[in-house]
Amino acid sequence: MPEGRVKQTVIWSIILIAVLVILAGVVTYAGFFFYGVAIKRAPKEFLSKTPDLKVDPPVAGASWGEGKDWVARHDLDKVELISEDGLKLQGYFIASEQAKGRTVIVAHGYSGKAKDMGAYAKLYYEKLGYNVLLPDARGHGESAGNYIGFGWPERRDYLQWIHYVMERTGPQAQIVLHGVSMGGATVLTTSGESLPSQVKAIVADCAFSSVKAQLAYQLKRMYRLPSFPFVQIASLVTRLKAGYFFGEASAMKQVGKAKVPILFIHGDADTFVPYEMMDELYEACNSPKQKYTVAGAGHGLAYDTDKGEYARKVTSFVNQYVKSSP
């Protein structure tokens, strides 16, 4: 090969390697950036810039103030447990004299906290006479943790909360799990675990089908970027820092294993977690199931949009599986 051709080949090889190194650096930086934005425990400023969310707290409709006031009027029994991986988790228990072992565990949403869920607590406590347990998810509120699990590691935490309720309320325990947004995904991922017979029903409001699908959707929507390779590298960073891959964190796979009855709720005007995800989850579910579409409701606003019908649907569903007396 002529000497000039050799030099040219070497130069182009060096350029190609440099370009590949730069691209790898950019993609790696992006992975850490998106981990910091979405997964790391930190104020989520991007939520305030999202036009289809009501914020402060995130996904807060008019009922949030009502629920906040309701929580403030009740005696909260602060409870703690240690997660399997050593995190101190905190929750609040509100006992009802009418409960007879019936208890709802209410799961809050992304970047929220237990006390944001007062409107749902009120529904179960006042209308149905349940005890209420409001946990702060890991990485939220008063619970420890430096990352957000999007409901995946939280499923193991919820098994512990379930056993806490069983120990507290005795053998007659009857438990409902009710979650909204990320909380909805949390209770759905919990549904695929081996649950005690005391868990009678699950209500999942505006849950996403999987972490991978939700983050890919938001990446395109907020940053105009394709899923590959950004979701994959952010997933790898999350595995290194938080212990899970996005691909394994699938509510859709979990509901396919569920045996507990599930009510799926979603607003058809939800553009933060696509409305279509409810149908995907519903179709994947093999346990007794119902779905309830709230016309005109945005993300996390199904209850606010039609409080009366929401309460009727939830009440009718859980009453099929929870006995009013032991």
Q: CA distances (Å), 260 to each of 87, 188, 257, 289, 315, in order?
A: 28, 10, 9, 9, 16
Is residue 255 predicted with pLDDT exceeding 90? yes
* Cα dihedral 50, 247, 281, 277 sign: positive
* Cα dihedral 95, 96, 102, 103 sign: negative
Q: What is the rounded distance in angstroms from the CA atom of residue 30 to the CA atom of residue 233?
A: 8
pTM for the whole thing? Answer: 0.87
What confidence tens digit (pLDDT) does each residue in 191-200 have?
999 999 999 9
The H or E element spanning position 167 is: helix 152-169
φ/ψ of 284, rounded to 5, equals -75, -20
What confidence tens digit (pLDDT) does each residue in 141-164 have?
999 999 999 999 999 999 999 999
Do 111 and 139 meet the contact criterion of CB atoms below 8 Å apart? no
pLDDT of residue 241: 84
Distance in angstroms between the alpha carbons of the first and the last residue of the chain: 89
Is residue 17 predicted with pLDDT exceeding 80? no
What confidence tens digit (pLDDT) does each residue in 220-240 have?
887 777 777 878 888 888 888
What confidence tens digit (pLDDT) does each residue in 111-138 have?
889 999 999 999 999 999 999 999 999 9
